[in-house]
Structure 1
Amino acid sequence: MHDKENELKFKNDLYNAKVIYQWEAIGRNFGHTLRWIVSIGVPFFGYSLLMLLIQDMAAVPVLFFIGLIMTFVIRYLFLADEHICFYLTKKGIHFTTEQIIPEMAYKVMRGFAWFGVAVSFFAVTIIGPMAFIGAGACALLSFKMTGFKSVPRSSFVYFVDEYTVFDIQKENTFSIISHPHDIYDSCYRLYYFREDRDEIKKQLLQVIKKSHYKIINHPDDIYDYAPFEPSEITKS
């Protein structure tokens, strides 16, 4: 809801409300194969471009090693699955999202960060104060990354009046769209495991005061039902 004066009150009421139902799910922004294609393709394009510029075959092993590291960094840090915990209340839904990243990936990144700190200070001692500007910035960034770890993110959607609940079965997600759209809260990604679908649907339709329920195959199909205007229907 865009009324900032009431938003804090809605949020406090939501987080203080009794949890009626909760569930967990795995969120994925892309398919498994596509994520590996992107993770391999981006570094390959980068070091191929560098090879064309420097034209030195002696650099191939180094660039390949860097590209290999970047492949795993992109796949397991930037394109990781997400573990999501949803908490349904009469006021709305609040949920936490945390990336599913192997602890080894964090150890590797922290190791590179400490290495960056050491290299930066070594550059200052060898080159002198003139290197402090660049090396100091690098050292500061690296030092911040020495504590690199997974941090859960919190989000919420609060129920105000009338909503359409879209069941996007192809993606195992629910989308909750408000009437009127873009004035009240809407949520496009409520993931679920297939075995939990029927119970989540039941709980959502019981909690939302005015609700429509639609089964669709793709998120873009949502807009076939627009515009989302208020109506006088009773809960279905």
Structure 2
Amino acid sequence: MNKVNAMAEVSEQETPLHQLSQEEQHEINTNNQKRVREAPTIHEWEIRVRESFVPVFIFLLIGTPILIGAGMLWNSSSNGWVFIIVGVIMFPYLRYLVMADKHYHYRLTTEGLITTYQDAIPEMAYTIVRGLAWLGVVVCVMAMAVLGPLALVGAGGMALFAVFFTNFEKKVSVEYTVFNKDKKYVVKVVKNRSLIRFDIIPFSWFEFSYLYCNEGELYRVLSSLMKELGCDEYREFKSELSLRRAPVGVLDVGTPRRLDEINK
């Protein structure tokens, strides 16, 4: 999947990209992607990132049935084990399939940023899920054959659900962010996450992007990015949550910092 994370740079063109016809959007996006791809590379890196909200969501989704099960066992109800087992089974499913880490590949050029990302799931996991899905389809079909029409209510639904996972495979997404050097940018940083976001001021359609840096490379990436965007300072945030909640395309947010303060 390809996306262009920028307005069309078409000189006098003032119409936002999303208001143009599909043919015009496609032509502009193709030209922008080509320009970014063919530009000299400033820095290129890969990084695996765990989303900051994942531990909280997993704790809530897994902890709730386990606590319910523990409470039922405390009240001498053996049915509590059902909730505990469900919680234990759901943990690897949620952590490694639904809320898996993201693998990013960044290529920063003089004309923009190319971001390629995918779920950091081993290929073996996809193979296992597809195998279990086909097994589930077979079991459901056998159940309907043995039990008759009454099985359609449960087994039929499960069969449809299992078929959905038979084509379970890794998906790679690509995003292009084109630098519009005729406009003003604001760069925002979360040091403890080595996370950078840069926005155009004032905010326009899709004119912002996030990028994660490897440990020890934040200064290098930030200095290169600020140079290309013509920024003299950046805005510092204490947490990723505060950055994501900050308005896009607004300068007066966060704490203003100079580049030489990044390591302080």
User: So what's the TM-score if we normalise by structure 1?
Assistant: 0.76
- 8 Å Cα contact 1:11-1:158 kept in structure 2: no
The aligned residue for residue 190 of structure 1 is 211
The aligned residue for residue 29 of structure 2 is 11
User: Which segments of 5 or more consecutive residues in structure 1 lack a partner in the other structure?
Assistant: 230-235
Q: Secondary structure at the match of 1:25?
A: strand
Output the amino acid matched with 1:106. Y
Output the amino acid matched with 1:12. T
Give RMSD over aligned pairs. Answer: 3.4
Structure 1 runs, 4 residues or longer, greater than 6 Å off: none
1:175 is the counterpart of 2:175:
no
Structure 2 CA distance for partners of 1:121 and 1:112, relative to 1, 3 Å: same
- 8 Å Cα contact 1:113-1:145 kept in structure 2: yes
Q: Cα offset for 1:36?
A: 5.8
Structure 2 CA distance for partners of 1:226 and 1:18, relative to 1, 3 Å: closer
User: Which segments of 5 or more consecutive residues in structure 2 lack a partner in the other structure?
Assistant: 1-6, 8-15, 253-258, 260-264
Residues of 2 paired with 1:11 and 1:87: CA distance? 18
Higher helix share goes to which structure?
1
Residues of 2 paired with 1:99 and 1:198: CA distance? 27
Output the amino acid matched with 2:31. D
% identical equivalent positions:
24
| Equivalences, count | 224
The aligned residue for residue 100 of structure 2 is 80
Output the amino acid matched with 2:226. L
Structure 2 CA distance for partners of 1:33 and 1:223, relative to 1, 3 Å: closer
1:166 is the counterpart of 2:188:
yes
Give CA deviations for 1:63-105 in whole Å, capped at 9, x if unaligned. Answer: 5433322111111112221110012233321211111224454
Give CA deviations for 1:195-222 in whole Å, capped at 9, x if unaligned. Answer: 22222123212332x4353141334268
Give CA deviations for 1:105-138 in whole Å, capped at 9, x if unaligned. Answer: 4344334312321221022202324544653443
1:122 is the counterpart of 2:115:
no
Equivalent runs, 1:81-160 vs 2, <5 Å: 81-129=101-149, 131-132=151-152, 135-160=155-180
Q: Secondary structure at the match of 1:156?
A: strand
The aligned residue for residue 199 of structure 1 is 220
